[in-house]
Structure 1
Amino acid sequence: MKCIRIATAGSLAAAGLALSLSVASPAQADPETDAFFNAVTESGITGLDPATATQVGQQVCPMLAEPGQQMADVAGRVSESIGRPLGPATMFTGLAITWFCPGAVASIANGDSPIPLGLFGF
């Protein structure tokens, strides 16, 4: 009889766990990545999957940090990743720097550009 109670209690616990997992609240969106994706869309770069756009955008800063990396090289890699021509990919790269590279943005504000701004027309 004791074994039946333990088995029943275990079954109830497992069912309770399954139920709690199935009614868990949905994951909340990240305001920073939502804002980035909105900025990309508002700039005219449409038709991108939000998760892919965010993932590629978050890779821009580490790519720029690689030794000897050039902005044009990063924009080219972004172009391949998002399936857009170099012009929109350069815009996308600039937006990614704005949203995900606060150190670079702070340097630019202080007059010390860590990236060649000529590519953006500055």
Structure 2
Amino acid sequence: MKYSRMAAVASVAASIALSVGVATAVPALADPQTDAFVDSLADAGITGLDPATAAEVGHQVCPMLAEPGQQMADVAGRVSESLGRPLGPATMFTGLAITLFCPGAVASVANGESPIPLGLFGF
């Protein structure tokens, strides 16, 4: 009987430890494209960023580029401010975000076209 109580206590303790471990584990970002973006940042040597913040700022790059008059340098400057990083890493961050989140823009530029439909602005 003494051993069955010890086994029960050990079982409960193990369950609690497992629950705490699962509750404190860092969750994946759930979107494979976003996960690939965060991984590519680490591969490029851009480290020390909160993955959720990096994903949020990365997803803002395409809409920023779509704003009238915006250029990559302007967007990289805004990314630099958002992340609190120097312009060099922010420019690399911006390029990676464009590559992963704005594939249509990359294809348009490769074809010599504007990624933004300039006809909408009277051009």
TM interval, shorter chain, is 0.5 to 0.7
> Would you say how many aligned residue pairs link Structure 1 and Structure 2?
90
RMSD: 1.9
Q: CA 1:50 to 1:111, structure 2 compared with 1: closer, same or farther past 3 Å?
A: same
TM-score (norm 2): 0.67
Q: C-alpha distance in 2, partners of 1:110/1:38?
A: 28
Aligned to 2:108: 107
1:72-121 deviation line (CA, Å, top 9, x unaligned): 11100000111110000000000000011121011133233549xxxxxx
SS at match of 1:29: coil
The code of the aligned residue for 1:91 comes to M
Can you give the 5+ residue segments of structure 1 that lack an aligned partner in the other structure?
1-25, 116-122
Aligned to 2:77: 76
Q: CA 1:57 to 1:28, structure 2 compared with 1: closer, same or farther past 3 Å?
A: closer
SS at match of 2:91: helix
Counting only pairs closer than 5 Å after superposition, residues 23-62 of structure 1 correspond to structure 2 as 29-62=30-63
Aligned to 1:16: none
Q: C-alpha distance in 2, partners of 1:103/1:64?
A: 12
TM-score (norm 1): 0.67
Q: C-alpha distance in 2, partners of 1:71/1:101?
A: 13
The code of the aligned residue for 1:90 comes to T
Q: Percent of aligned pairs with the same residue?
A: 82
> Is residue 104–residue 115 contact of structure 2 (8 Å, CA) maintained in 1?
no
1:6-40 deviation line (CA, Å, top 9, x unaligned): xxxxxxxxxxxxxxxxxxxx887211100000001
SS at match of 1:90: helix
Aligned to 2:120: none
After TM superposition, what 4+ stretches of structure 1 lie above 6 angstroms from structure 2? none
Q: CA 1:85 to 1:52, structure 2 compared with 1: closer, same or farther past 3 Å?
A: same
> Is residue 59–residue 97 contact of structure 2 (8 Å, CA) maintained in 1?
yes
- Cα distance, 1:56 vs structure 2: 0.2
